[in-house]
Amino acid sequence: MDYEKTDILIIGGGVAGLSCAIGLKNESNLKIVLLEKYNEFGSKIKGEIVNQKSEIFKKIFNNKFPVNIRNVIFKTAKYYTPTTKKFAIRKFPFDTKIGIEYRKLIDELVKVLTQSDVDIRINSEVIELIEKNDKFIGVKYKDSNGIKEIYSKIIVCAAGIDFLSLCNRFTTPPKNICPAIKLNAENVDIPDPSQLEFFLLEIPSIIYLFPKSKTKAEIGIILWSDQVKNNEKFNLHEILMEQINSHQILKKRLANAKFIYYNKEKLPLGGPLKNLYFPNIFFIGDIAGHVGAIGGSGIVSSMSIGYYLGVYLKDLFNIKKDFTDNDFIKCQKLINKLNITKWLKTEASNAKVMRNILYSTYPNKNFIDDIWDKFKYFIESRGP
């Protein structure tokens, strides 16, 4: 079997892995390899809303937000109760929340990387982590020429939630992994494209409708697994389709909609993992719970944490040749001290409180209406 050696190996070419590679690049003389399973980066489109004022865009894109990825600027988000009798409106600070084209963002990240000597390989699926003396020392991966091994001084795993099936044994997985479905649609009837809409359902779940224009939108549903009682089973696809056909407001918006993209997903909404490092592997992005539990925000969080881990590792490799666990644990501490990590923790606990209040008595359809006047303060007073 072919094998090779590298300094740093990144598994996964989503926003977390690509940003980590960007943090590592530049005059470091390090051998860096990034392996992506599919034949293109960002093949699975997930969230498409970001805060364009986030620092990470300036860091990665030379102080300029890549305007070609932007479609709509949002002014407000409207949240409806299950009966739609009540709602709350959250206002966004001017020019912050925007809709993006996910694939274009990925293209921009890849463009930054192609000016570097990071060795990025598509069609390269990691099928096994190689372990020796309680340390991860490399991976087995499959490409069009067969199975290969690659050994690395440090591995960064940014392979998303599905990769847990390959490493569950070694790590405490992120908590509250929630199933989700995302659709992109055309022929949608959107009265106000500057408004995001959220529809709470009777069961612990939420449907969102994010406009891309007056006639195009992203629609998704998330089931809040932590609120589901007695191992009740829900078929998310059926629930979404039923709501599209019968919900008072969704029915109007989507009466003539043509669905052009469908993605079954999972979202870790239990907060960031504290232990991101296990000898000698780091976990970042979705697989480490780097998702804002209230409003998605996984793109900015995964990009930020990925990028800074890259920078910290580059600094470490610039001053040392041999490493101990302590060196890597220091990097983990730096990540845990980042404002974005602290924010992710707060988001997770606030989100849990909100979900607990809303769904404490489900399936009592009117309960949310009854408490809404007190509850809507939570939504309307939230920052960016």
Ligand X SMILES: Cc1cc2nc3c(=O)[nH]c(=O)nc-3n(C[C@H](O)[C@H](O)[C@H](O)COP(=O)(O)OP(=O)(O)OC[C@H]3O[C@@H](n4cnc5c(N)ncnc54)[C@H](O)[C@@H]3O)c2cc1C
Interacting residue ranges for ligand X, rule: CB under 6 A: 11-17, 35-38, 46-50, 125-126, 158-160, 162-163, 180, 182, 220, 265, 267, 285-286, 291, 296-300, 302
Least distance CB 29 / ligand X (angstroms)? 25
In whole angstroms, the minimum distance from the beta carbon of 335 to ligand X comes to 14
Shortest Å distance, C-beta 365 to ligand X? 25
DSSP-derived secondary structure for 33-81: EEE-SSSSTT-S----EEETT-HHHHHHTTT---GGGEEEE--EEEEE-
Q: Which is nearer to ligand X, 11 or 30 (CB)?
A: 11
Residues 6+ apart with CB under 8 A from 185: 216, 217, 218, 219, 254, 257, 258, 259, 260
Of the candidates 311, 327, 322, 331, the residue with the CA atom closest to the CA atom of residue 26: 311
> Looking up tokens 């997770």, which residue turns up?
348
Whether the CB-CB separation of 57 and 29 falls below 8 Å is answered with: no
Number of other residues whose CB lies within 10 A of the CB of residue 320: 10
Q: Please, which residue, 267 or 379, has the CB nearer to ligand X?
A: 267
Q: How far is the CB of 48 from ligand X (least distance, A)?
A: 6
**Residue of closest CB approach to ligand X:** 47
Least distance (Å) between residue 182 CB and ligand X: 4
We find the least distance from the C-beta atom of residue 231 to ligand X, in angstroms, to be 23
User: C-beta of 303: minimal distance to ligand X in Å?
Assistant: 8
> Which of 282, 372 has the CB closer to ligand X?
282
Tell me the three state secondary structure of residue 104: helix
> Which lies closer to ligand X via its Cβ, residue 137 or residue 139?
139
- C-beta closer to ligand X: residue 88 or 161: 161
Task: Tell me how many helices (H) and strands (E) the chain has.
Answer: 10, 18
| Between 38 and 261, CB nearer to ligand X | 38
The CB density around residue 62, as the number of other CB atoms within 10 Å, is 9
Instruction: Give the span between the Cα atoms of 384 and 347, in whole angstroms.
Output: 12
| Both structure tokens of 93 | 């600070």
Nearer to ligand X, 86 or 124 (CB): 124
